[in-house]
Structure 1
Amino acid sequence: MKKALFATTIIAIIFTACNQTGKTIQLNPNEEKTTVFESKPLIEGYLTIEKSLVIEDSKTAAEAAKTLVESLNSYDEKSHTAKQINVFRKIKTNAIKNAEQISVNADKIDLQRKHFKILSEDFYDYVKVEDLPAPIYKINCPMYKDGSFWLSKTKDIKNPYFGDKMLKCGDLQETIK
């Protein structure tokens, strides 16, 4: 009887620790606007979308995506290397398309997350060749759409695909410097 009670208690503790629904996430997507990435408007725009999806603020994600589209359209090739320009040109059309979809779907966070997944794939290629003022972390989420990842400026896992439902779901895959 004691073993059954102990096992039930352990299972309840584990379930409670893993089940984070109902928890309010207190993050302000604009709180660290003056970051080391401020001089990199494409990266800053992506990171603002990521932060907004973490806290389930679809309206701020939409605004950040609109700004990201403007930054993608005004990319200054003169200040980049040939390799950076080539990668940028490869991702530009798709990145704009997905950022626009995030922007126009301010009331549909699930759709925003779907397009953020694809945007993350493009941005991964971009940050790999960009001169970064600080590390970017590639974080894997095995549960979203058969495996997805996102980029973050911190190692701290805050999942933009599930928000407060599975905030800590993910594992650090790579540090990009």
Structure 2
Amino acid sequence: MKKNITALALAAVVFAACNNGAQKSGDQQQDSAVTAGDAMKHETPADENVTEIKPQFTEVDAKVAASLKPVIDHYIHVKNGLAAGNAAETAAGAKAMGEALGKVDQSAMTPEQQKLYAENEEDLKEHAGHISKNEGNIAHQREHFVQMSEDVYELVKGFGSGQALYHDHCPMYDNNKGAMWLSETREIKNPYFGDKMLTCGVVKEVIK
């Protein structure tokens, strides 16, 4: 009983913070507020519900892993730029990510690995291009970051990343449709709202 009360208390703190932030940011479409009850329909209430998952491919060639690492690193660069509200830094990270994608070594991938990579490669290049070319429009960068995050998530679930990455979820982005992102730290730093609601979100999974 005590454990359940603690979980509910943690949820109340998280969603109250999200709602307070939303009330301060009515100038953007995605900043519409939701009630705590609405938010809890989308989110698990406590850290204890974080699921640990292992990458799909148990054997990844060292050359493949080494060439994918810069892609993941620059994705994190983009994420941190958005969380900081720095569109120029975000654009720089996306440009570097696009260059890294052009250097991924597919020669040692298995057919199954090649298939997974091919399913996400072109989308990633497209979104990296949009983000890199919109240094003056952080809202547009965030729109493309939504799908970029989904694509990188699929790659990390498949190939791993050589480090623990946390799958986080923001329930309020895009008029409460929600969006996910990956983070190198357990601490929530929301790339969709930046300092307006920096700690709004919940850790759903850890991939390691």
Superposed pair shares fold, TM > 0.5: yes
Q: RMSD of the TM alignment (CA)?
A: 2.3
- What is the distance in 1 between the residues matched to 2:106 and 2:167? 25
Correspondence for 1:46 among 63, 75, 78:
75
The 5-angstrom pairing of residues 81-100 of structure 1 reads 81-100=110-129
Partner of 2:93: 64
Selected match of 2:184 from 153, 156, 159: 153
1:162 aligns with 2:162: no
Distance 1:167 1:38 in 2: 31
Per-residue CA shift, 1:79-117, capped at 9, x if unaligned?
Answer: 444333221111011111111000000000000000000
> What is the SS of the residue equivalent to 2:78?
helix
Runs of 4+ in 1 over 2 A off after TM superposition: 17-22, 78-85
| Contact 2:72 2:161 (8 Å CA) reproduced | no
Cα distance in 2 for residues equivalent to 1:167 and 1:102 = 20
The answer on whether the counterparts of 2:87 and 2:138 sit within 8 Å (CA) in structure 1 is yes
Equivalent position SS for 2:182: strand
- Matched-pair contact (CA < 8 Å) for 2:67–2:104: no
Q: 2:205 aligns with which of 150, 169, 174?
A: 174
Write the letter of the residue equivalent to 2:193: F
Q: Is the CA contact 2:127–2:144 (under 8 Å) kept in the aligned structure 1?
A: yes
Matched-pair contact (CA < 8 Å) for 1:58–1:108: yes
Inter-partner Cα distance in structure 1 for 2:138 and 2:84: 11
| Corresponding position of 2:137 | 108
Equivalent-residue separation in structure 2 for 1:143 and 1:19 (angstroms): 11
Q: For 2:84 and 2:113, how far apart are their aligned partners in 1? A: 32
Give TM-score, length-normalised by structure 2. Answer: 0.66
- Can you give the 5+ residue segments of structure 1 that lack an aligned partner in the other structure? 1-13, 23-36
RCO greater where, 1 or 2, for CA within 8 Å and sep 6 or more?
2
Decide whether aligned partners of structure 1 residues 79 and 44 sit closer, same or farther in structure 2, where only a CA change above 3 A counts.
Answer: farther
Q: Is the 8 A contact 2:167 2:181 kept in 1?
A: yes
Unaligned runs of 5+ in 2: 1-15, 26-65
- Distance in 1 between residues matched to 2:67 and 2:88, nearest whole Å: 21
Identity level (%) = 36
Q: Deviations over 1:2-50 (max 9, x none)?
A: xxxxxxxxxxxx78x944969xxxxxxxxxxxxxx99710100100000
> Number of residue pairs matched?
149
Which whole-Å CA distance do the structure 1 matches of 2:139 and 2:97 have between them?
19
Shift of 1:147: 1.1
Closer, same or farther in 2 for the Cα pair 1:114/1:80, shift >3 Å? Answer: same
The residue that corresponds to 1:128 in the other structure is 157
